[in-house]
Amino acid sequence: MSIIYNLDVRCYEILNYLLYQDGYTTVVQLAEEKGISKRSVYYDIRKINEWLEAQELTPLEIERKKGIWIDEEQKTLIRTKLKMIPPKLAYVFTPVERIKIIICSILQRNRNLFLDDFMELCQVSRNTTINDMKEAGKVISEYQLQLIYENGKGYHIVGDLVRKRSIYFAYFSSIADFYKKEILPLDDPEKVQQIIEKLKDIENALDVQYVQGTLYTIAVFFSTIDNRTDILEFSEDEKSEIMYTKEYEMVSKRFEELDESERLYLALHLLGSRIQSIPVDFMNEKTGQETQKLSRILVEAFSRITGIGFSKEDELVQAIAAHLKTSLYRYRYGVQLANPMLDNIKSEYGDLFEVTARACKYLEKEIGVPIPDGEIAYLTLHFGAFITSGQQQEEQLRVLIVCPNGLSTANMIRGEIKTLVPNAETVDIRSLKDYQKQHNYNVVISTVVIEEEKNLILVHPILTDNDRMTVLKKCMKYEYSNHVNITQITEIASKYMTEKNLKEFKAELMEHFSKTSLKKYVKRGSSQKGIQEMLQKSYIHIVKDSMPWENAVQISGETLLNEKFIKQSYIDSIIQKTKQYGPYMFITKHVFLAHSEIEHGANKMGIELTVFKKPIEFTALDGKKRYAKIILTLSAQDHKAHIRLLNDIMTIFSESENEEMIWKSETAENIKNMICQLL
């Protein structure tokens, strides 16, 4: 009897990933891609090869110092076999996934659930399940909810209805694939499909697109709505605003069985999940003005914290205002627009995310509710898309970006591609719905598989280093930025090589130069220096005299001025802005971050720290006095490079104790050592 070899989920994903790589993929790349060890990669490749041999296909080879390469003919054969694999593959849930499964199962329950149910769902022992239930209880307690057990009725979550729904939508999107792949069972898959079809009808009728995965999450939730007796309450003003939208009109026609409050709730989900801006007629004029005001507050806070001025500030304000129009309702009614890219955004754009989160604190004060990380991540993409990299472009390559996760995501990818491939003539964006097979682009970059696209580069919504490597490899077939003409080299080499050897030689040559380009890019992209690298002892001063604030600002930038990091006009601009707007540059009670726009005289990135033993007095526009014990003068070379430095400053001075310790220090060396210890 022959042995049947099956692929588990991770092996399936690794093989699928390799099918969309152009050129060699190293074991290290695969390990980074899947977050596993190199040993695990080798083990998975062995299992993949067992499966390939069982399919009578050539096994994968790991070439020394190169990695794995699959030719196009082999890729076609493998894809054909992969389509025959059933969606239900062996899977081992992580502890975090098990907790999310437990919580969402209870919240969407259509019957009583007991410990044995969760053991069967998660395929773990009774003791492990008991521990998972305890952890689930801790998690939901952070939402001011409570997990309880009743004899004969099983597990329930009790507490505020909005919070319960909020945690469901926050968690379900990250485990939705388990249900789609039938790794986890749905209570009524036919009903879920019927709801999805109705939602897609609405999407087509309104000619809009919703964030990927949203319709499925909504459908699963509403497939068990009949089991719920609790009711959401809306004010008359809120009702009138939502009822006025086309979304509500469509929902009312297609979901007549829902009561009014659930139709309102469903319409809010659809409005909040649009990729395009929501209709301008949504919300009354007063509410529209409010979102404009809040957006302006957020943008100004971001600019004030970072010292970044936006050349298209009004456009950015409008984009964020459109986002906030429904966000305010989402916060209030627990309509969580889950962000599947949250972890990647935190990982790849951690500094920018942290700065955005700090700016959002000002917004939270205005609206009176906390802004979840998923929303901050979307706002991070908005800001990132409007921060110019300053790269010059030459006319050469044509690139198309296809992204179903929203325009802010696509704009972020476009910004990276323009930096990575500065010679690209065009870098355009299309939604998946607007993508056409016939086009004149050399390269198509997409976050989802496009089956018949020959020039496809499959990437993550937030580009990883492996993605950047793949982009470079592909794009180097059309343009070469290393002042080396590979075509000319291969033409010369063709006189001395066979056709087969020439093809391999050209592939290896491009591999070599694309790696060189990537190293240069990664080095450039990761060259952001923190305060430990930038703040040398010669840029730290302790002043014991009292003086007017104008003199203090001048002294605080003196070393940067002498070393030509800045011009005198930069210091003059800081003084002028402080006179005009008041001492808005205070980042804590006693720390003043002196900075201005790059164009006012910043030559390169630098930081100077001055401690004033006799605090410097500033007068606000309302006449109130503020006192600076520490003045930091910051200059930037562009709109991005100083963000890590800025985050270090915020980290250090977010604790008043740190501020006090630095102020009491008597030497520059002590201050330098203290900063290193604090970070």
On average, the pLDDT of the chain sits at 79
Q: What is the pLDDT of residues 332-355, one digit of tens each?
A: 666 665 565 676 677 667 778 888
DSSP for residue 308: P
Residue appearing with tokens 């081992």: 92
> Residue 209 in contact with residue 431, Cβ under 8 Å?
yes
> Residue 230 in contact with residue 107, Cβ under 8 Å?
no
pLDDT band at 519 (very low <50, low <70, confident <90, very high): very low
Quote the percentage of the chain above a pLDDT of 70.
Answer: 80
Residues 98, 102, 105, 108, CA torsion sign: negative
> Residue 322 in contact with residue 156, Cβ under 8 Å?
no
- From the DSSP assignment, how many helices (H) and strands (E) are in the chain? 29, 12
Residue appearing with tokens 């992580």: 94
**Mean pLDDT over residues 183-206, rounded?**
90
* pLDDT value of residue 341: 64
Q: What is the pLDDT of residues 106-141, one digit of tens each?
A: 988 767 889 989 988 887 888 889 999 999 999 888
* pLDDT value of residue 629: 93
* pLDDT value of residue 386: 74
Q: What is the pLDDT of residues 70-114, one digit of tens each?
A: 988 899 899 888 877 765 555 678 888 899 999 999 988 767 889
- Name the residue with higher pLDDT: 212 or 64: 64
pLDDT exceeds 50 at position 261? yes
Cα separation, 326 vs 27, in Å, equals: 44
The neighbouring-strand residues paired with 68 are 25, 62
Contacts (Cβ under 8 Å, ≥6 apart) of 384: 349, 352, 411, 412, 415
Collapsing DSSP states into helix, strand and coil, what is residue 296?
Answer: helix
Residues 30, 34, 38, 39, CA torsion sign: negative
pLDDT band at 416 (very low <50, low <70, confident <90, very high): confident
Q: Which of 526, 528, 532, 529 is nearest to 679 (CA)?
A: 532
The neighbouring-strand residues paired with 285 are none
**Mean pLDDT over residues 31-54, rounded?**
84
Q: What is the pLDDT of residues 361-396, one digit of tens each?
A: 888 788 766 677 777 887 887 787 677 544 444 445
| 408, two tokens | 């802010």
* pLDDT value of residue 483: 41
* pLDDT value of residue 305: 77
pLDDT exceeds 80 at position 176? yes
- Name the residue with higher pLDDT: 124 or 617: 617
**Mean pLDDT over residues 558-585, rounded?**
90
* pLDDT value of residue 617: 94
- Name the residue with higher pLDDT: 535 or 209: 535
* pLDDT value of residue 320: 83
Q: Which of 137, 148, 145 is nearest to 164 (CA)?
A: 145
Q: What is the pLDDT of residues 289-328, one digit of tens each?
A: 778 888 899 988 888 777 677 777 888 888 788 777 767 6
Convert 146-193 into a string of H (helix), E (strand) and C (coil).
EEEEECCCEEEEECCHHHHHHHHHHHHHHHHHHHHCCCCCCCCHHHHH
Determine the residue type at 223.
S
Contacts (Cβ under 8 Å, ≥6 apart) of 504: none
Collapsing DSSP states into helix, strand and coil, what is residue 390?
Answer: coil
pLDDT band at 570 (very low <50, low <70, confident <90, very high): very high
Checking 184-192 for CB contacts under 8 A at 24+ apart, the result is 184/101, 184/121, 186/220, 186/223, 187/108, 187/110, 187/111, 187/223, 187/224, 188/110, 188/223, 188/224, 191/223, 192/216, 192/219, 192/220, 192/223
Q: CA angle, 33 as apex, 31 and 39 as ends, to 5°?
A: 15
* pLDDT value of residue 12: 84
**Mean pLDDT over residues 21-48, rounded?**
84
pLDDT exceeds 50 at position 484? no
- Radius of gyration over alpha carbons of the chain, in Å? 28
Collapsing DSSP states into helix, strand and coil, what is residue 454?
Answer: coil
Which helix (H) or strand (E) segment holds residue 332: the answer is: helix 313-333
- Alpha carbon 221 to its chain's center: 25
pLDDT exceeds 80 at position 209? no
Q: Which of 544, 532, 576, 584 is nearest to 667 (CA)?
A: 544
Q: What is the pLDDT of residues 618-659, one digit of tens each?
A: 998 888 899 999 999 988 876 666 777 877 888 788 778 888
* pLDDT value of residue 506: 67
pLDDT exceeds 60 at position 276? no
* pLDDT value of residue 254: 92
> Residue 159 in contact with residue 144, Cβ under 8 Å?
yes
> Residue 443 in contact with residue 397, Cβ under 8 Å?
yes
Residue appearing with tokens 């700090």: 358
Collapsing DSSP states into helix, strand and coil, what is residue 113?
Answer: strand
